[in-house]
Amino acid sequence: MSDPTTLVILGASGDLTSRLLLPGLASLLAVEPDRRVHVVGVDRAELDDAGWRAKVTEAFTGAGVPEDAAAEVAADARYVQADLLEQEQLAGLLDGLGGPLVLYFALPPQVSQKVCGLLERLELPEDTRLALEKPFGHELESAQELNVQLLKLVPEDRIHRVDHFLGVNTILNLIGIRFANRLLQPMWSAEHIERVVISYDETLALEGRAGYYDGAGALVDMIQSHLLQILAFFAMEAPASLDEVEVRSVKAQVLRATRVWGEDPTTASRRARYTAGRSEDRDVPSYVDEEGVDPANDTETLAEVVLEVANARWAGVPFVLRSGKALREPAKQVVVTFRPPRHVPTGLKDCTEPDQLILELKPGAVDVVLSMNAEGDPFELEQKVIRAELGKSRMLPYGEVLAGILDGDPLLSIRGDVAEDCWRIVDPVLAAWRAGSVPMQDYPAGSDGPDGWGVVPPRS
């Protein structure tokens, strides 16, 4: 049996650890109970091994981890109380840790960066991997600097820039649906597709996350990161296999070709912020009145950007990426609108609506919307939906992503150049917004967004 991987969670008492990492690990162990992993929690907070083990056990309870596997992992788990910004304490932590070793930075980005700076002066054990959460930098330049810094510590294939959307089965389904279906393959280009809308509308509001969100906003929180990854899966060329080098290369090619539509963020982007309203039977305060929000930050809670993938396959097709909070209904989907047929026999009635393929990300389903016979007149048509529900995911997205990190496979991690490209794409939008060239609109919480936006923009 191979050596167990040591998973060191830096920031073990934080929200990310209890809300996402430990449940993710539990869901992974439920599927792979033989996986051997030592979970070391590190934080400044006062806690001992027993307290940490209780936390790990709590996360495993009810998650389907077989009892003996849960007991084994919990018994091996250990807690180190340390201030990671103290060089000596950091050195002490690494002492005695061997590879394979994962240092998972569940820390605010500024702290992660400082810790990486201190790690430069230490020798990392052989086969150390680094896992970092978004945001990866705050614009292109800082992402480039962070990449340089990380590469001083370990090679690129041991850096796992985490994006949990890469562990979402309905997003990974894009690979199967696109490349295993002859029916769709010839349709997947500007010749047949008129536009693509990738949206992630949430009913959730700020939910007490001002500390992070108020400095990020919808554009950075969702579009710069998650939605661009969906775009990459949607538009990439076919990889020859699921090997990380191939898949990550074809994704990178797409993002390298992507830019703001018309290279004009003032016409190709919109932003808005929720005001007081009611969402899902709750009163939601105006965003600026939420606890911890600084109105001077001018943070948007709904963002939309139109992009072009300027290559031979996609040039001329608008890709609309949109995400927002406190909206009336969740809309987490990719809507593909096909071009109209070249000619429809004269006499056929009501076939003016375009065909669509809708990939629903949550819950996972595929809808094909086609014109078909209505009742009665055989030449009168109506749009009907052919729907298939996707199979349930085997584990939580964080479980999938963690599996890759623990195995040292970066397939589901963001490559350094891609992290930079995602900033290169949105930086002009951020600059236009900061300069006040795109007005901030508003919408009541629980509505569909500002008047006139609609969920799907009008056909071009």
Ligand X SMILES: O=C1O[C@H](COP(=O)(O)O)[C@@H](O)[C@H](O)[C@H]1O
* Catalytic sites, residue numbers: 226
Separation in Å, CA 287 to CA 73, 272, 330: 42, 11, 18
Coil/strand/helix, residue 125:
coil
Write down the least CB distance from residue 135 to ligand X, Å. 9
Coil/strand/helix, residue 440:
strand
Say which DSSP state 327 is in: B
Site for ligand X in 167-196 (CB under 6 A): none
Write down the least CB distance from residue 280 to ligand X, Å. 14
**355 counts as binding ligand X under rule CB under 6 A:** no
Write down the least CB distance from residue 312 to ligand X, Å. 33
Could you tell me the two tokens for 442?
A: 């508003």
Residue 105 to residue 93: CA distance in whole angstroms? 14
Residue 436 to residue 56: CA distance in whole angstroms? 47
Pick 53 or 161: Cβ nearer ligand X? 161
Q: 166, 156, 163, 92: which is closest to 130 by C-alpha?
A: 156
Write down the least CB distance from residue 167 to ligand X, Å. 9
**Which residue type, as a one-letter code, is found at position 210?**
A
Q: Do 303 and 270 meet the contact criterion of CB atoms below 8 Å apart? A: yes
Pick 332 or 415: Cβ nearer ligand X? 332
**202 counts as binding ligand X under rule CB under 6 A:** yes
> Under rule CB under 6 A, how many of the chain's residues touch ligand X?
3
Q: Which residue is nearest to ligand X (CB)?
A: 221
Residue 39 to residue 17: CA distance in whole angstroms? 12
**300 counts as binding ligand X under rule CB under 6 A:** no
Write down the least CB distance from residue 323 to ligand X, Å. 8
Site for ligand X in 31-60 (CB under 6 A): none
Pick 148 or 204: Cβ nearer ligand X? 204
Per-residue binding string, ligand X, 318-337, x by CB under 6 A, is --------------------
Residue 261 to residue 306: CA distance in whole angstroms? 6
Cβ-based neighbours of 279, under 8 Å, separated by 6 or more = 203, 205, 326, 327, 328, 445, 446
- Residue choice 43, 201, 214, 221 for contact with ligand X (CB under 6 A): 221
Which strand ranges, in their side-by-side order, compose the sheet holding 101-105?
Answer: 78-81, 37-43, 5-10, 101-105, 128-132, 159-161
Pick 146 or 205: Cβ nearer ligand X? 205
| Burial degree of 128 (CB within 10 A; 0-12, 13-18, 19+) | buried
String of DSSP letters for 360-400: EETTEEEEEEEEEE-SS-TTBEEEEEEEEEPPPPSS-HHHH
Pick 215 or 408: Cβ nearer ligand X? 215
Nearest-5° Cα angle at 25, 19 to 26: 90
| Burial degree of 82 (CB within 10 A; 0-12, 13-18, 19+) | middle
Pick 362 or 384: Cβ nearer ligand X? 362
Write down the least CB distance from residue 174 to ligand X, Å. 16
Write down the least CB distance from residue 204 to ligand X, Å. 6
Pick 221 or 304: Cβ nearer ligand X? 221
Write out the residues near ligand X by the rule CB under 6 A. 202, 204, 221
